[in-house]
Amino acid sequence: MPGTETADPITDLVGLREVLDGPLHEIARRLSRYLSGRWPHTALVIFTRECTGRPRKVAGDTKTINKVTIEELETLKAALEPGRPAGTTATIAGGRRTVWAIRDAADLLLVLIPRTPGRQFPEPHRLSAIFGLVSTSIRQQVAQASPDYLAESRAAALERERTITELAAAHEATLVAILTTLRSTGLDDSRARSAAADSASSALVTLRTARHADQALSDEPPASAFSRLRRELRQLLRHHPARIEFVAPPGASRALPGDVAHAARAMTRTAVVALAAQPDLTRLRISWTSSGDSLRVDVRDQGPGTLDADTLRHQLEGRSRALGATFEVDCAPGWGSQVTVDLPVDPPSKAARATELTNLNRREREVLAQLALGRRNKTIAAELGVAESTVKFHVTKLLQKLGVTTRGEAAALALTAGSDVAPAATRSR
């Protein structure tokens, strides 16, 4: 591990593999453990706008990391030169602190708050190289848009939206009450009342726009998402002999949640690669159409119609299930192939998700609650006081009952169902 001066290179590489191999939402905690010896720190933050569900991935002191804001991270990132690590002071978590910071060439940011303030940044270029591998892994997982990533991203986005809505509603009600009192004709000192009313009005406007600001961070216009896809596919197909046509969605279409945009790009790429692999392909048409409530992906060709439809259906199935999408794969020998995907822009209602959990027994609900916390079988077994083999049995059964194929999809159902998931005894542990 990098925590010792005489680290065994093999052990070092094994440790780094453990950082990269695991759920994306836990990568900050795994990286923090890996770096803790050589780079002792109290808090670690990875900031990336690639991950729309959780742009901040954090580990360490809860009181500190809960105060770190997007604005602080953006300001720090703007002050750093890509590829050049820096030991500096910056405003993080509401105060000026010593930080070890790296802005990767791909624009991901790593921030460590050292355990000893003012300590010199040890081996900054070594840490920069390590973070380069971590950032590459993050970008690949996001680009591939696996079902686990999509499910976790959707759950995080829903939770953030719920929290912001509740906070905005509570503060709005408070400020409306203040304004009502200040505007009362029964109060004297009109100048003071007018000044206070202006301040409260300004604060009310700010709170009412908080939801829109969060959407600007996580949402993406369909035309913009399609432009990114077009650049990627043009690079991918630059030597393909077929004529490639792109039909973009209307520019005024409703913005897409980040996880939907990622899924649409990933599923389009999957379909394009499958169709482009056919011999004697002469034309490939790629289009997106947005209806407001859903996004339709349409990929069709003029080719031999020899598409391996079963394999493609298997590749699309997991992602479709994670976001409630539907798809069709049609091919006619001698005529060509067509793949269509319909992605709902809005997630299913909480009531619908809760209904899917009603078939679970008490123990399965307890295991599901543990999955929602990102825990592995061994930890769940210790928490519930059962054998690890028993946990494996319950996980298999609850996946079957929920109609999902991965732990990540099951965890997403648990997260979006909230307090309906586990019995009180489990939630109070």
Provide the pLDDT confidence category of residue 127 given band limits of 50, 70 and 90. Answer: very high
User: Which residue would you say has higher pLDDT here, 248 or 318?
Assistant: 248
Whether residue 307 is contained in a domain is answered as yes
Cα–Cα distance between 328 and 267 in angstroms, integer?
12
Q: Taking a C-beta distance cutoff of 8 angstroms, is the pair 124, 100 a contact?
A: yes
In the predicted model, what is the mean pLDDT of residues 405-411?
73
SS3 251: coil
Last residue of a domain, one of 218, 249, 279: 218
Tell whether 75 and 47 lie within a shared domain: yes
Cα–Cα distance between 77 and 109 in angstroms, integer?
7
Tell whether 139 and 74 lie within a shared domain: yes
- Burial (CB < 10 A; 0-12, 13-18, 19+), residue 387, is exposed
Tell whether 68 and 159 lie within a shared domain: no
Q: Percentage of residues in the chain with pLDDT exceeding 70?
A: 71
- Burial (CB < 10 A; 0-12, 13-18, 19+), residue 152, is buried
For the ranges 22-31, 278-287, 367-376, 393-402, the lowest mean pLDDT is seen at 367-376
Tell whether 268 and 303 lie within a shared domain: yes
Q: Percentage of residues in the chain with pLDDT exceeding 90?
A: 27
The per-residue pLDDT for 425 is 39
**pLDDT tens per residue across span 240-271:** 889 999 999 987 778 888 778 888 888 898 89
Last residue of a domain, one of 98, 120, 144: 144
In the predicted model, what is the mean pLDDT of residues 144-172?
58
User: Which residue would you say has higher pLDDT here, 85 or 314?
Assistant: 85
Cα–Cα distance between 35 and 365 in angstroms, integer?
35
Average pLDDT, the chain: 79
Last residue of a domain, one of 197, 218, 239: 218
Residue 426 in this model has a pLDDT that exceeds 50: no
In the predicted model, what is the mean pLDDT of residues 259-287?
89
- Look at the block and give the residue holding tokens 């301040």: 199
In the predicted model, what is the mean pLDDT of residues 175-194?
63
The per-residue pLDDT for 179 is 67
Joined together, the tokens standing for residue 99 give: 């930080």
Tell whether 320 and 308 lie within a shared domain: yes
Whether residue 294 is contained in a domain is answered as yes
Domain count, the chain: 4
The per-residue pLDDT for 121 is 94
The per-residue pLDDT for 291 is 83
E strand or H helix at 365, and its extent? helix 362-372
The per-residue pLDDT for 118 is 84
Whether residue 297 is contained in a domain is answered as yes
Whether residue 382 is contained in a domain is answered as yes
Residue 312 in this model has a pLDDT that exceeds 80: yes
Q: What is the CATH number of the domain that holds 69?
A: 3.30.450.40
**pLDDT tens per residue across span 87-116:** 999 999 989 999 999 999 888 999 999 999
Tell whether 226 and 206 lie within a shared domain: no
Tell whether 383 and 328 lie within a shared domain: no
Whether residue 4 is contained in a domain is answered as no
Tell whether 136 and 155 lie within a shared domain: no
Residue 309 in this model has a pLDDT that exceeds 70: yes
Tell whether 17 and 136 lie within a shared domain: yes
In the predicted model, what is the mean pLDDT of residues 409-416?
68
**Of the ranges 142-151, 161-170, 358-367, which is most confident?**
358-367
pTM of the model: 0.49
Tell whether 208 and 173 lie within a shared domain: yes
Question: Which residues span the domain enclosing 173?
Answer: 148-218
